[in-house]
Amino acid sequence: MTVVEFFGCSFLAFGPPVAMFALTIAHDPIRIIILIAASFFWLVSLLLSSTVWLAFHPVTSKVTFGLICSVFIQEGFRYLMYKVLRKTESGLQEVTDIVRIADYRHILSYASGLGFGIISGAFSLVNILADSVGPATVGLKAASDIFMLISAAQSLAMILLHTFWSVIFFNACDVKNYYHIGYVVASHLFVSCMTLLNASGLYAVTLLISYTMVCITGAIAFQVAGGTVASFRKFLTCK
């Protein structure tokens, strides 16, 4: 039963992202490179967040402090990734078949966001998945028996949010839309802080908020990437 739980939670959290990677990233080496680079940037942000936590841990042991610092550090590295991409556009133009790399920017920001999200989801869930294989770990330490399922669903939400956030953030930096930049940072902080409610067993509230933000953020990302109601209808009708 524990093996079934392991695969179920793994497919829930990483099934859609892996499908997104296979269908939209895997066929293009430039997108793969950007995804891997973004994953590396997120790992560096995690290292820096851990360093800050260790430095201030003797002063405050509250999880909230570390979480807030981590969010701002991650957004700082998202901006750094944006600057790196824009600085290397001329080089990317030389090694790609794309006519104009500037028309390809939303795809690059999508690949970057997916890299951020996948590595973030992997690190948030890997220890839980390792424990799920047993023996008999459903309801860790007498907690809810749906804890692992909720964790997997939350990880999926964060992966999707990171993907959408990067699309919005990169476009906002290009057009100097500070409202969208503020939205990305504020929504990232909001969703992350809401996960603290899980400590009180309010899983339904956390997931409802997270997936509501996924829908809102996805709609904004779709709009800034050039999507319209007409194009969405064509997508649904396969025209």
100 band by pLDDT with thresholds 50, 70 and 90: low
Q: Which residue has the higher pLDDT, 232 or 66?
A: 66
Please tell me the predicted confidence (pLDDT) of residue 239. 63
How many C-beta atoms lie closer than 10 Å to residue 231's C-beta? 12
Angle between helices 178-194 and 147-175 (to 10 degrees): 170
151 band by pLDDT with thresholds 50, 70 and 90: confident
Please tell me the predicted confidence (pLDDT) of residue 56. 78
- Could you tell me if 203 and 150 are in contact, meaning their C-beta atoms sit under 8 angstroms apart? yes
Q: What is the mean pLDDT of the chain?
A: 84
* Residue 139 pLDDT > 70: no
Distances (CA, A) of 182 to 10, 46, 82, 165, 171: 32, 21, 16, 11, 13
Tell me what percent of the residues of the chain surpass a pLDDT of 70: 85
Please tell me the predicted confidence (pLDDT) of residue 76. 94
* Residue 58 pLDDT > 80: no
Residues with Cβ < 8 Å from 9, sequence gap 6 or more? 125, 128, 129, 132, 148, 149, 151, 152
- Quick: pLDDT tens for 106-125: 888 999 999 999 999 988 88
The C-alpha angle with vertex 226 and arms to 81 and 26, in degrees rounded to 5, equals: 55
Half-sphere exposure of 60 (CA within 13 A, CB side): 10
- Quick: pLDDT tens for 8-49: 888 888 999 999 999 999 988 888 989 999 999 999 999 998
- pTM of the predicted model, to two decimals? 0.88
* Residue 220 pLDDT > 90: yes
Please tell me the predicted confidence (pLDDT) of residue 108. 87
Residues with Cβ < 8 Å from 160, sequence gap 6 or more? 16, 17, 117, 214, 218
Q: Which of 32-36, 99-103, 175-179 has the lowest mean pLDDT?
A: 99-103
Please tell me the predicted confidence (pLDDT) of residue 28. 83
